[in-house]
A and B are shown apart, each in its own frame.
Chain A
Amino acid sequence: MGEKIKVDRVTKSFSIRDNDQKGASKEFTAISNMEFSVNEGEFLTIVGPSGCGKSTLLDLLGGLSTPTKGRILLDGQEIKGPGLDRGTVFQQYALFPWKTARGNIEFGLEAKGIPKREWRAQSDHYLDLVGLKSFADRYPHELSGGMKQRVAIARSLAFNPDVLLMDEPFAALDAQTRETLQSELLRIWEKTKKTIIFITHGIDEAVYLGQRVVILSANPGRVKKIVSIPLTHRLADADIRSNPAFVKARHEVWSLLHEDEYAGLYI
């Protein structure tokens, strides 16, 4: 397994309005000296308290903004802007409401410059992959939250990116739908062999999905620790969340996230 992405000592700061001094601005560091790497075909989850710079990190990975210091490498090349080698799935779906499920998927195909005659077969394929073949002609407002997120995942997969960036994609869904989509995402991952970076604030979700979990600390965002999860065959075990290995890993992540609380930092 080669190294797919390298986050190399990345710092990102913004200038924000200074509340103490009228009209002045001050520097705010969202991410400080962050460093980790993601292997080819790996499912990496990132978990952290609010203010740990999750969204900032995702924007950097997506190429929508650039680091203040350091760099991010994708296949050894520095990321300098957005590209179709990465697909992003957002928490609020970000589907185009004037396009049907199929139309949304074809938007990505068109962006990639795939010839129009191939769109139909491709969109059919990805709709089928997320189990929405019979909903191809529905508009987003006619779909449930879970279905919308499936369409969004299909849209991101359709232009065949190497890396899938997911920004708390299941946070807005109810618990049952979330569990279904989690296992479906694992199934899709096994099928497509994509490298996935999945940001979440759910500890269970992070442990269930990730081969490794990156734990961030907040203010400014830093990597606290990276925990390997020794689970295999997650899909074969019907109730993996009761598996002792899962429970142990979950506890480890939980303790790391809550250490600061007990030290009195957040109280």
Chain B
Amino acid sequence: MVAISKQVKSSRRLQKLTFNPLLTLQKLFKQSIVLLLFLVTWEVAPRIGLVDPAFFPTFSEVAASWWNMLITNELFSHFSASIIRSIAGFGLAIVVAIPLGLIIGWYPIARDLLNPILELFRNTAALALLPVFILLLGIGETSKIAIVFFACTWPILLNTIAAVRNVDPLLIKSARSMNISSFALFYKVILPASIPTMFTGIRMAGTGAILVLIAAEMVGAKEGLGYFITYSQYNFMIPEMYAGIITISLLGLLINYGLLALEKRLSRWKQDPNA
């Protein structure tokens, strides 16, 4: 009996350790089946006349034009223009909003003074200010980076303030009982304890950055993915237009995954609710 149960145990362990191609395939299938169905529908719908192929070309046609633009480098110049603008605005927002948020969160007087104006700005849609930015800064790079910066600042700033305010008072008490300096308390307790909430804001800003940038590029720009989409629409380059849209999706995915990976690295200590 004992021998048998031992055998069962060891074979179970073996199963866990060895690579199971069937299981891997199953997982891959589960993750991709809906996506594949979507692409198949896209391919079939224009072919059977469900939608007008002139306005809604097949997926293969879009993919071919995407590939074509990729190898002629046409796509790359628009892609890089967009990504540089969004990273510049987004990065600037991080550099400005995090220290500012830490200070506002830490000093009650700063909070009381600034809270009303922060609420006002936060509730002003960034795109509503686009004309102002263009009037003041022209239609060059500056206005686009500025509007991305503006849109990214608020979620980061407000989440950083909330993060600092919500640090567990017991942790502060515990650190204070060890007689550490205010600076050490801030640097070694407040800051690390704030990172998870701060990241919620950073990821919201990442999504916002793309949204605002594309809209800004559609209104007034000479390159960039937003510009490219409207340009192809006006010139009836419909497959190219869809290729541009797909590229925007990819850009969004890229930024989101990058931020997720960074967040995972910085808050390894947090309990994973899905684990």
Do A and B share a complex? Answer: yes
In the bound assembly, the distance between CA atoms of A43 and B22 in angstroms comes to: 63
Is A108 engaged at the interface, CB distance under 8 Å to the other chain?
A: yes
How far does the Cβ of B195 sit from chain A's closest Cβ, in whole Å? Answer: 8
A84 & B179 in contact (Cβ 8 Å cutoff): yes
In the bound assembly, the distance between CA atoms of A136 and B178 in angstroms comes to: 21
Is A45 engaged at the interface, CB distance under 8 Å to the other chain?
A: no
Is B271 engaged at the interface, CB distance under 8 Å to the other chain?
A: yes
CB contacts (< 8 Å) of A96 on chain B: these are 171, 189, 192-193
CB contacts (< 8 Å) of B271 on chain A: these are 141
How many chain A residues touch B (CB < 8 A): the figure is 25
In the bound assembly, the distance between CA atoms of A97 and B271 in angstroms comes to: 9
Is A235 engaged at the interface, CB distance under 8 Å to the other chain?
A: no
A111 & B178 in contact (Cβ 8 Å cutoff): yes
How far does the Cβ of A113 sit from chain B's closest Cβ, in whole Å? Answer: 10
Per-residue interface assignment for chain B, residues 158 to 185, with 1 indicating a CB less than 8 Å from any chain A CB and 0 otherwise: 0000000000001101111111100010
How far does the Cβ of A119 sit from chain B's closest Cβ, in whole Å? Answer: 15
Give the interface residue-count category, chain B.
Answer: 20 to 34
Is A131 engaged at the interface, CB distance under 8 Å to the other chain?
A: no
Per DSSP, are chain A's interface residues mostly helix, strand or loop, or mixed?
loop
Is B47 engaged at the interface, CB distance under 8 Å to the other chain?
A: no
User: Which of B171, B179, B195, B269 has a CB less than 8 Å from the CB of A139?
Assistant: B269
Is A159 engaged at the interface, CB distance under 8 Å to the other chain?
A: yes
Q: Given contacts A92-B170, A94-B171, is CB(A82)–CB(B178) below 8 Å?
A: yes
Is B11 engaged at the interface, CB distance under 8 Å to the other chain?
A: no
Nearest B-chain residue to A92, judged by Cβ: B170
In the bound assembly, the distance between CA atoms of A141 and B267 in angstroms comes to: 13
B170 & A82 in contact (Cβ 8 Å cutoff): no
A83 & B176 in contact (Cβ 8 Å cutoff): no
B176 & A111 in contact (Cβ 8 Å cutoff): no
How far does the Cβ of A12 sit from chain B's closest Cβ, in whole Å? Answer: 17
Is A90 engaged at the interface, CB distance under 8 Å to the other chain?
A: yes
A90 & B178 in contact (Cβ 8 Å cutoff): no
A107 & B188 in contact (Cβ 8 Å cutoff): yes
Is B27 engaged at the interface, CB distance under 8 Å to the other chain?
A: no
Is A64 engaged at the interface, CB distance under 8 Å to the other chain?
A: yes
CB contacts (< 8 Å) of A83 on chain B: these are 179
Is B270 engaged at the interface, CB distance under 8 Å to the other chain?
A: yes
Q: Given contacts A92-B170, A96-B192, is CB(A159)–CB(B178) below 8 Å?
A: yes
Is A99 engaged at the interface, CB distance under 8 Å to the other chain?
A: yes
In the bound assembly, the distance between CA atoms of A139 and B174 in angstroms comes to: 18
How far does the Cβ of B170 sit from chain A's closest Cβ, in whole Å? Answer: 5
Per-residue interface assignment for chain A, residues 80 to 93, with 1 indicating a CB less than 8 Å from any chain B CB and 0 otherwise: 01111011101010
